[in-house]
Structure 1
Amino acid sequence: MAGHHHELHEGDSLKDAAREQLIEHGEQWTKMREAVFEALAGFKRPASAYDVAEAVSKAEGRRVAANSVYRILDLFVGANLATRVESANAYIANQHPGCVHDCIFLICDGCGTTTHIDNDRLSSGVREAAENEGFAPSRPIIEVHGKCGECA
């Protein structure tokens, strides 16, 4: 499988990498943005804005509106801290926020687990096909639904 190397982050390393990336993007790392990112990173599968709002509300001990979370999640997508999983209307934290590349998601219809893989050869083919049609792709995202190894 063709791919490229990038550093995967977890835990505090992921939060630190996300903070650095957001600041490089020209934005501030606020307490609320940190809480939303921590909640999102805590999910093992894509989470909706409502899921994240509920998790932040529990952690903060006060109600947090989903509208506020949506705005922050959109900011995170723009800064490469998160990716939107379109078919699930949900988001997943980017474990390598300093690396911008096309996304290929394997989404289990059984348990909801979403695995991100890199295959530059496949995504290059998608880009080339789009360009052959006179389309200028900005960032292909491919979603493959099926069953993970545990659910199959």
Structure 2
Amino acid sequence: MAQSHAHAHKEHSGETLIEAARDALTNSGEQWTGMRQSVFTELARHERPASAYDIADNLSKARGKRVAPNSVYRILDLFVANNLALRVESSNAYLANTHPGCEHDCIFLVCDECGEATHIDDEEVSRTVRGLASARGFKPERPVLEIRGLCRACA
């Protein structure tokens, strides 16, 4: 994941990512339930964006009983609202935020061939986009930029 930011934060992976997500969610006043942990753990194991249906199918197989995609969607929406997950709008898929609780605008490079989505943190681009919106009397809440094309491996 490419990074370019003006502040320090720690990238997490594996168990420390799950712990950081739990801490960020509980610190925001939400509960970290068994189902939420299962959804986050499943999301975090994907290197490419995963859909709610992918996550529900994998959890259903692992649990031996059906997990409804609608339940997964609600949890993923909660994760996005609390900066635990990032949503790739054009593919309706999600990535785990490797620095939970750290708020960034979503800037993605999305490969049309292999589906890879690289999240970029760039404070200058974020300031520019937010400034353009504000200058037109628009209050930006959650800017999302997606640049579609081919990744280095597919180009």
TM-score bucket of the superposed structures, by smaller chain: over 0.9
Question: CA contact under 8 A between 1:77 and 1:84: conserved in structure 2?
Answer: yes
2:133 is equivalent to residue 130 of structure 1: yes
Amino acid at match of 1:128: G
Inter-CA distance 72–44: structure 2 relative to 1 (3 Å threshold): same
Match for residue 11 of structure 1 among 8, 11, 14: 14
TM-score, normalisation: structure 2: 0.93
Question: CA contact under 8 A between 1:102 and 1:140: conserved in structure 2?
Answer: yes
Question: CA contact under 8 A between 1:2 and 1:121: conserved in structure 2?
Answer: no
Q: Provide the rounded CA distance (Å) in 1 between the counterparts of 2:90 and 2:103.
A: 21
- Unpaired segments ≥5 residues, structure 1: none
How many residues in Structure 1 have an aligned counterpart in Structure 2? 152
Equivalent in the alignment of 2:69: 66
Report how far residue 145 of structure 1 moved.
Answer: 0.7
Residue deviations 1:21-56, cap 9 Å, x none?
A: 110111111111111001111111111110110111
- Unpaired segments ≥5 residues, structure 2: none
Residue deviations 1:92-149, cap 9 Å, x none?
A: 1111112112121111111101111111111111111101101111221111111111
Equivalent in the alignment of 2:83: 80
TM-score, normalisation: structure 1: 0.95
Task: Give the share of equivalent positions with the same residue, in percent.
Answer: 59
Q: Which runs of 4+ in 1 moved over 4 A?
A: none
